[in-house]
A and B are shown apart, each in its own frame.
Chain A
Amino acid sequence: MSHGHSHPHSHGDARPHAHGEHDHEHAPAEPLSDEQRAVLDLGVADSDLPPAGLARRNILRTAGILGASAAGASVFGVGQAAAADGAERSRRAPRNGYLWLAGDHHIHTQYSSDAMYRVVDQVQHAHAYGLDWMVITDHGSVAHAKLGVEKVNPDIRAAREAFDNEMLVFQGLEWNIPAAEHGTVFVHPGANEVAVLREFENSFDGSVNGTGSSSPANEQQALLGLDFLATSITSGRIADAAFFANHPARKGIDSPHEIRGWRDRQPRIALGMEGAPGHQAAGIPKPYGPGSGRGYYDNSPSAASFPGYPLASYITYGGFDWMTSTVGGLWDSLLSEGKTWWITANSDSHTIYLDDAVRPPGADTSAYFAENGRYGDPVHGSAGGNVNNGDFWPGFYSRTHVGARKATYAAVLEGLRAGRMWVDHGRLLAGLEVRVRERGTRDPGHPLGSVVPVGKGKRLELVVAITKQTLPNWAQVVPHLAKVDVIRGAVTGPASDRDTFSAPGTRVVKSWDVSSSPTAVTLTHDLGAVDDGFYVRLRGSDGRRLAPGLGGASVDPAGPAADVIGDADPWNDLWFYTNPIWVLPR
């Protein structure tokens, strides 16, 4: 590849990239360069592209990959674009090339009618519990659209400064997705962060606009909301934005075609979903805890639910949402299509298990909230720790680890978009590096979220470097990783039925018992000679609650057990999950 790699690294990556020494199959599907983004972004006019960029765009157009809105920019599109472009080939990136920044994109404050803490309460706890980035996501509502979205901003700015900008605090909101569930929407900080979020909420929030119920027209509103965010970026109003679907299976109202629809409409903004919901203390038994479903997943189908979802979809398994925890389930059906769709794990922190703070008398009523867009600052309560609160502080239990080139807002967003992410509960792991590389080489390989374009017949391997936890977690227990599973599925291309939620070929292909392994352990799995396209993802557990998966023991012999309503101790059932790596023959 001799064509230029002279594009500026405008994300501020200080590390020099060594280019030109690898051939195509080693080109990591790294984050798109600005040049590649411009090619994929039809907000950029053809006339504004350099000739090479326009040529690539026309190739993608001819292939049907680039439609009216870059829809269907699946791994096929991205992978081929990357291969055609040489991508950002870097020998420095692997292993030590990324800072792994822990974060949480789902956190509420006193600007939510069902929450209570100051922004700085959440930031301070998140910082103490080891997070590096976080998103403030108060509920979209009439009061929030009118007051809260604006009033929370000075609090967020002050919190950024209070921690010397060590903690990256994004402003976002929890979007009532028209016709669907909730989702995190957040933006890169900047002069217009409030203006864009306010306009978004006033125009596209399901509660604010009465577009919450399931209908084709309302589903369209959700897509228009994503378009608005995309336009806000291309017009230069904001530097970046992202959307994740929250607690997607909780009520069965995020249908498979809606999820595909969001993702295909704006694949650079609609990035994924919560693999694990928050509220992980909600299943702690009475009288010590709320005694509800883990994640408050205790619902049943309603008229708004997608009728195809089984009852089994309404509960969590090992603390994870059914869409993610089911091997061969909804998430795998997207991955097997080649759709980039990533998972996260968050706190959904509203009110903290065993916290004794309360809303201040007089500034704790719904009337006060409606008038002020917030409750008053919390005060010390007199009733002791509240056992009915079902949440943990950000960072206390759930973490989303993002491989970022540096500790900046832009780099976190770039890592999220690239799918360079893994998640864990209860600090199960101290560190994790996952690579796919040519078998038997010392090639640094391709990290999580990558698409590996490779010649047929080439033999690859999966390398998993784990650092087991040696420090106690926030329950004062050193978590113990017992096993690691490799899940593999074929890439079968676009689904003919947009409501498909199964990938029958995906299954657990390898399990390692690592209970007696040393702290630093490297596991290698032979992926064989590449014939057809496939993807691999990883999962691991403390091994305390295992059961055959919903697809049967031949698919998943020892997966996460169904969480018991009223009896789910989150600390005795810990899992980690990674995002996938695809391998596509050329």
Chain B
Amino acid sequence: MRTTTLRGGWADTRAAEHALARSEAGHDDGVSLLGDPAVGAYTVFVPGDDDSPPQVAVVVAASPKDAPAGARAFRFPGHETLVGAMTVGELLERSSIGRVLDLTGAPVDPRTSVDTQDFVRPTVQDGVLTLVVRPGVHGVLPFEQPHPTPCCADHDG
């Protein structure tokens, strides 16, 4: 069993990630990495239909090659080392992320500084764990932001 859809039915990626954390804390949320640190955990989107809204499912796979295209990794080998700022080269060295691309799909110079914001969520593209980055104040940022503006938020901070 190389790929397992363990659970579905979460409203968003955050809730799905939280379910894994709860499982690891002893709650029965049904998500497990099977005790293997080499295994990756991914969120995948399940489109809605007339009977159910769109949902987020979690897939556990031994390798990005076994995960669905577009799956978004939130646990992967080396993920815990991706904190603070580092160069793209260091990020590639420390984790199982296989490449870093800019918004046009071009590889980013390994010397470029990336501020991880302690939140790195690469996706599977062509079987490779791929981090797309966006321009940041200093260097680049992982595309997905840790605290996106929610819909209809009260912006009056």
Give A contacts to B, CB under 8 Å: 113-114, 116, 139, 213-217, 251, 279, 282, 285, 290, 292-293, 296, 298-305, 307, 310-312, 314-315, 350-351, 358-359, 386, 388-391, 548, 550, 552, 561-567
Contact = CB atoms under 8 A, between A and B. Distances in A.
B55 A216 contact: no
A303 B145 contact: no
B125 to A, nearest CB: 10
A113 B153 CA distance: 9
Contact of B148 (A113, A285, A300, A358): A300
B151 interface: yes
Contacts of B145: 293, 298-300, 565
Contact of A215 (B53, B70, B144): B53
Contact of B136 (A213, A282, A564): A564
Nearest to B45: A303
A244 B141 CA distance: 32
Nearest to B144: A300
A307 B70 contact: yes
B155 A296 contact: yes
Given A213-B48, A563-B135, 8 more contacts: A213-B53, A216-B50, A279-B155, A290-B157, A300-B143, A311-B103, A315-B103, A552-B104
B108 to A, nearest CB: 13
A561 B103 CA distance: 11
A303 B56 contact: yes
B54 interface: yes
Contacts of B11: 303
B45 A302 contact: yes
B134 A315 contact: yes
A567 B104 CA distance: 20
B12 interface: yes
> Which residue of A116, A290, A303, A388 has the most chain B CB atoms within 10 A of its CB atom?
A303
Contacts of A314: 143
Nearest to A306: B47
Interface in B100-157: 103-104, 121, 132, 134-137, 141, 143-145, 148-149, 151-157
Contacts of B36: none
A36 B156 CA distance: 48
25 contacts: A114-B152, A215-B48, A216-B50, A285-B137, A290-B155, A290-B157, A300-B143, A300-B148, A302-B12, A302-B13, A302-B45, A303-B46, A304-B53, A305-B45, A315-B103, A315-B134, A350-B155, A351-B155, A359-B156, A386-B156, A548-B104, A550-B103, A562-B103, A563-B135, A565-B141
A315 B102 CA distance: 13
Nearest first, the 8 A-B pairs at minimum CB distance are A388-B157, A303-B54, A213-B53, A312-B103, A300-B144, A303-B45, A296-B149, A217-B50
Contact of A303 (B12, B121, B156): B12
A292 B137 CA distance: 11
A566 B155 contact: no
Contacts of B70: 307
Contacts of A315: 103, 134
Given A214-B53, A215-B53, A389-B155, A298 B47 contact: no
A139 B136 contact: no
Contacts of B151: 251
Given A213-B54, A296-B149, A303-B54, A113 B154 contact: yes
A562 B134 contact: yes
Interface residues of B, number: 35
A569 to B, nearest CB: 12
B85 to A, nearest CB: 14
Interface string B22-57: 000000000000000000000001111110011110
Nearest to A297: B149
> Which residue of B12, B132, B145 has the most chain A CB atoms within 10 A of its CB atom?
B145
Contacts of A213: 48, 53-54
A492 to B, nearest CB: 25
A293 B135 CA distance: 11
Contacts of A293: 145, 149
B149 A564 contact: no
Contacts of A311: 103, 132, 134, 143
Given A303-B46, A351-B155, A292 B53 contact: no
A165 B154 CA distance: 32
Contacts of B53: 213-215, 303-304
Contacts of B50: 215-217
A304 B54 CA distance: 6
Contacts of A114: 152-156
A379 to B, nearest CB: 14
Contacts of A304: 48, 53-54
B132 to A, nearest CB: 5
Contact of B45 (A301, A561, A563): A301
A120 to B, nearest CB: 20
B8 to A, nearest CB: 10
A292 B70 CA distance: 26
B54 A388 contact: no
Contacts of B143: 300, 311, 314
A257 to B, nearest CB: 13
Contacts of B49: 215-216
Contacts of B137: 285, 564, 566-567
A371 to B, nearest CB: 18
Contacts of A301: 45
Contacts of B152: 113-114, 139
Nearest to A550: B104
Contacts of A562: 103, 134-135
A563 B48 CA distance: 32
A311 B70 CA distance: 11
A388 B149 contact: no
Contacts of B135: 561-565
B55 A391 contact: no
Contacts of A566: 136-137
A302 B144 CA distance: 11
Nearest to A116: B156
B45 A388 contact: no
Nearest to A300: B144
Nearest to B52: A215
A300 B149 CA distance: 10
